[in-house]
Amino acid sequence: MSDIIFEWEKVSKNFPGVRALKDVSICLHAGEVHAIVGENGAGKSTLIHMAAGVYLPDGGAMRILDGTSYSTPVGARKNGVVTVFQEAELFDHLSVAENIALLQGLPVEKAGLVNWSQIQETATS
């Protein structure tokens, strides 16, 4: 089996009055493809937000790549965990590629993407 790239061990998350996740264990290997499916309220979004470092676990261990743990969105991104949500948590005026570049912390111009403000300025001058 290929190298482990993402591992959770007995991860739990609670919100006031709600147990969102209880003892979730996941082990993903390089080259695998997975889907997260479930009913409304099953904890899918909570799981993804935790993977992205948005929520911290109340218990358990989250490790990535060489066993490194992370606890912030920046830490998650530095370790290659990037999420693109289906809901409009994006900048409407940017392309999908530009939104992803921004989420990864890349300056849009250095990502080889369109500099819309420069184009607008050139077009109107």
Taking residues 45-52, report their average pLDDT: 86
Query: Could you tell me the pLDDT band of residue 39, with boundaries at 50, 70 and 90?
Result: very high
Instruction: Lay out the sheet containing 18-29: strands in order across.
Output: 18-29, 4-15, 59-64
Taking residues 32-39, report their average pLDDT: 87
- d(C-alpha 91, C-alpha 88), whole Å: 8
pLDDT at residue 13, as a whole number? 94
What are the structural domain ranges in the chain? 4-83, 88-125
CATH superfamily of 4-83: P-loop containing nucleotide triphosphate hydrolases (3.40.50.300)
The model's pTM is 0.60
Q: What are φ and ψ of residue 13, in 5° steps?
A: -145, 130
Closest CA to 60 of 105, 108, 17, 27: 27
- d(C-alpha 59, C-alpha 10), whole Å: 7
